[in-house]
């Protein structure tokens, strides 16, 4: 580990009652850096912060601070302070006493001279003069030096948040952890505080680890953004890197607005999407399925026939500096920005510079279940959920005989697949979701959704923690409970190992 690394999380995992909420988290934070963990609600941000602060212990992995393992140190022994989402100030104390509160209770080791001339270490309270200096310094950083005597209940939300920050930095931590500290403020106040926090970070020169679900906040403030989804880091990098080079569709959708499409590499450095071929700069094998991301500001609107593909303007919204248009190109929506006023319903042509077409390997092309098995009714079982399947497909050419047994005329053998281990595959668009929970083979919760040009892609998780990735034109919200159905003919199964072990005669 380089010695400019202050915090290092290595293979950190956290489970609550067997449910994994943070998985194999690896991150090095540089001294003095402003790092933001960004992700949707429930993805494990607070849990990660609480493990660094010492309020939770990792189930696995280690947390190093200045190269030393602090995974098991209690919170008060870590040179780390937290500003919480819900900052609890003492309403009956003034600003000064709120900030000084912790320091007044704190005891520090001091060398005390004994009668015999030797020194002994004793725990003593911090002298009043030193408390005074430290509180003044902290209030200066948060720009509240004239408000020492104000009752905190008379302060605005933004001022109260500053008191909470002063209370944390008065301890002179090496790392300040901030858990969505601005979420209680209104939009204008939040924007002001973002800039001020950045200033405070500069003035203090310490490391800030900030947590938010607000991408704009992350882009404004951070040196490094760590994007998390479902307990797992998706991408870490500078705001520019993450905006310009998202590694997958989730990141592209989460950071900024984007057009995301299914594409196919048709030739070297050529991708086909929205019904046209486009020159691209990312090299992928021919025929590979890819995700395509294009930022709205990178779509150039031209006169009909002058661009690469024609479309019709379906809507427009004036946004102050520019118009935002939705152009329909062969059933795909293309979001574009342009300063020129154009008519809804008119035909336009679109072009995109090849540098601005982001091509990404598809993270998922098929649902594959490698721990599936067959029950005695010849049905497929995926994590306790039962599906009808074409059992005869396990032995091509086999039939059911008069007794209902599986018979292969070629080998003249009968087979019994009760308990057989199989691998099952289902295409993303063959998993059907419904609000009607009385139907279907399984039930699950929508964990995330991404709009991919002409359909949504959902991640649905069942109670047994089995995941289904689903392409669907219909809209659901995160946390919706849905039923999952798959038609018999849409499930592909194959045996793990040889068929001989299931032959009977
Ligand atoms: N003490 C706990 N016991 C059980 N589950 C928890 C506990 N704390 C958090 N969780 C669960 O862990 C997941 C991640 O939570 P959290 O870290 O608070 O997410 P975020 O801060 O990103 O919104 C959530 O599903 C949450 O319900
Ligand atoms: Mg949280």
Q: What would the pLDDT profile of 320-349 be if each residue is shown by its tens digit?
A: 889 999 999 988 999 999 999 999 999 999
Mean pLDDT of the chain: 92
Residue where a domain terminates, one of 98, 122, 156? 156
Residue where a domain terminates, one of 244, 264, 293? 244
Handedness of CA 146, 151, 152, 155 (dihedral sign): negative
Q: Concatenate the DSSP letters of all residues of 85-127 into one string.
A: SS----TTSBHHHHHHHHHHH-EEEEEEE-TTS-EEEEEEEPP
Q: How many separate domains does the chain show?
A: 4
Confirm or reject: Cβ of 175 under 6 Å from ligand 1.
Answer: no
Residue 227 pLDDT: 97
In this structure, the number of other CB atoms found within 10 A of the CB of residue 276 comes to 14
Rounded to an integer, the average pLDDT of 291-310 is 95
- Structural domain containing residue 133: 90-156
375 shares a domain with 325: no
Residue percentage of the chain with pLDDT more than 90: 70
Residue 269 pLDDT: 95
Residue 343 pLDDT: 95
377 shares a domain with 308: no
Pairing label, strands 5-16, 60-65: antiparallel
Cα pseudo-dihedral 216, 222, 226, 230, rounded to 10: -40
Q: Is the pLDDT reported for residue 2 higher than 60? A: no
Decide which of 206 and 185 is more confident: 206
Confirm or reject: Cβ of 21 under 6 Å from ligand 1.
Answer: yes
CATH of the domain at 53: 3.40.50.300
Q: Best substitution site from 13, 25, 47 to test ligand 1's pocket, by max atoms within 8 Å of Cβ?
A: 47
pLDDT, one tens digit per residue, over 118-151 is 888 888 888 899 999 999 999 999 989 899 999 9
| Host H or E run for residue 239 | helix 239-244
Residue where a domain terminates, one of 113, 129, 156? 156
What CA–CA distance (Å, rounded) separates 81 from 76?
9
Q: Is the pLDDT reported for residue 505 higher than 80? A: no
Q: Name the token pair of 491.
A: 């499930």
Q: Is the pLDDT reported for residue 166 higher than 90? A: yes
320 shares a domain with 424: no
74 shares a domain with 24: yes
388 shares a domain with 356: no
Rounded to an integer, the average pLDDT of 392-420 is 94
Q: Best substitution site from 13, 18, 21, 179 to test ligand 1's pocket, by max atoms within 8 Å of Cβ?
A: 21
User: Within its chain, how far is the Cα of 369 from the centroid?
Assistant: 24
Which ligand number lies closest to the CA of residue 42?
A: 1
Rounded to an integer, the average pLDDT of 161-176 is 93
Residue 7 pLDDT: 97
Among 455, 430, 431, smallest CA distance to 442 is for 431
Token look-up 């933004």 returns 158
Q: Is the pLDDT reported for residue 66 higher than 70? A: yes
Pairing label, strands 406-408, 347-352: unpaired
Q: Is the pLDDT reported for residue 441 higher than 60? A: yes
Residue 447 pLDDT: 87
Q: Name the token pair of 238.
A: 């500078």
Q: Which pTM value belongs to this model?
A: 0.74
pLDDT, one tens digit per residue, over 229-270 is 999 999 999 999 999 889 888 898 888 888 989 888 899 999
63 shares a domain with 97: no
What CA–CA distance (Å, rounded) separates 164 from 435?
44
What CA–CA distance (Å, rounded) separates 5 from 28?
6
Residue 249 lies in a domain: no
Confirm or reject: Cβ of 159 under 6 Å from ligand 1.
Answer: no
Residue 48 pLDDT: 97
CA atoms within 13 A on the CB side of 2: 7
Confirm or reject: Cβ of 119 under 6 Å from ligand 1.
Answer: no
Alpha helices for 106-229 (secondary structure H)? 128-141, 157-169, 187-204, 215-221
280 shares a domain with 180: no
The residue count for the chain: 505
Q: Is the pLDDT reported for residue 181 higher than 60? A: yes
422 shares a domain with 275: no
What CA–CA distance (Å, rounded) separates 448 from 472?
13
Residue 363 pLDDT: 67
């Amino acid at each position: 580990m380089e010695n400019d690394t202050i915090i290092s999380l290595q293979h950190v995992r956290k489970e609550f009652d067997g449910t994994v909420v943070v998985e194999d988290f690896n991150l090095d934070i540089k001294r003095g850096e402003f790092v933001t963990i960004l992700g949707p609600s429930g993805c494990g941000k607070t849990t990660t912060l609480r493990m660094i602060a010492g309020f939770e212990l990792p189930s696995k992995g280690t947390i190093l601070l200045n190269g030393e393992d602090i995974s098991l140190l209690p919170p008060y022994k870590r040179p780390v302070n937290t500003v919480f989402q819900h900052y609890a100030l003492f309403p009956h104390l003034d600003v000064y006493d709120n900030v000084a509160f912790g320091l007044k209770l704190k005891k520090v080791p001091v060398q005390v001279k004994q009668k015999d001339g030797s020194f002994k270490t004793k725990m003593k309270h911090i002298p009043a003069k030193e408390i005074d200096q430290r509180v003044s310094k902290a209030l200066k950083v948060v720009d509240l030096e004239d408000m020492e005597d104000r009752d905190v209940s008379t302060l605005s939300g933004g001022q109260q948040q500053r008191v909470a920050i002063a209370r944390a930095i008065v301890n002179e931590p090496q790392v300040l952890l901030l858990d969505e500290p601005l979420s209680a403020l209104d939009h204008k106040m939040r924007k002001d505080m973002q800039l001020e926090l950045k200033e405070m970070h500069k003035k203090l020169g310490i490391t800030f680890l900030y947590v938010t679900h607000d991408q704009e906040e992350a882009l404004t403030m951070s040196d490094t953004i760590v994007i998390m989804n479902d307990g797992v880091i998706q991408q870490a990098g500078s705001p520019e890197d993450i905006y310009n080079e998202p590694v997958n569709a989730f990141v592209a959708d989460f950071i900024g607005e984007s057009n995301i499409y299914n594409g196919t590499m048709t030739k070297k450095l050529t991708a086909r999407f929205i019904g046209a071929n486009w020159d691209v700069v990312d090299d992928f094998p021919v025929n590979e399925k890819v995700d395509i991301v294009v930022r709205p500001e990178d779509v150039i609107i031209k006169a009909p026939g002058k661009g690469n593909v024609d479309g019709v303007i379906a809507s427009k919204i004036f946004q102050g500096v520019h118009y935002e248009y939705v152009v329909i190109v062969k059933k795909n929506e293309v979001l574009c920005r342009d300063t020129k006023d154009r008519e809804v319903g008119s035909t336009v042509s679109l072009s995109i510079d090849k540098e601005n077409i982001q091509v990404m390997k598809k993270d998922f092309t098929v649902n594959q279940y490698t721990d599936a098995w067959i029950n005695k009714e010849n049905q497929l079982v995926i994590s306790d959920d039962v599906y009808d399947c074409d059992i005869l497909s396990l032995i091509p050419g086999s039939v059911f005989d008069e007794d209902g047994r599986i018979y292969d005329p070629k080998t003249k053998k009968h087979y019994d697949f009760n308990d057989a281990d199989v691998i099952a595959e289902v295409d993303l668009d063959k998993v059907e979701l419904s609000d009607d929970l009385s139907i279907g083979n399984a039930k699950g919760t929508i964990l995330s959704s991404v709009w991919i040009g002409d359909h949504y892609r959902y991640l649905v998780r069942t109670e047994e923690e089995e995941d289904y990735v689903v392409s669907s034109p219909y809209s659901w919200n995160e946390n919706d409970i849905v039923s999952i159905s798959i038609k018999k003919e849409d499930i592909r199964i194959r045996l793990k190992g040889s068929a001989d072990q299931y032959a009977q005669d």
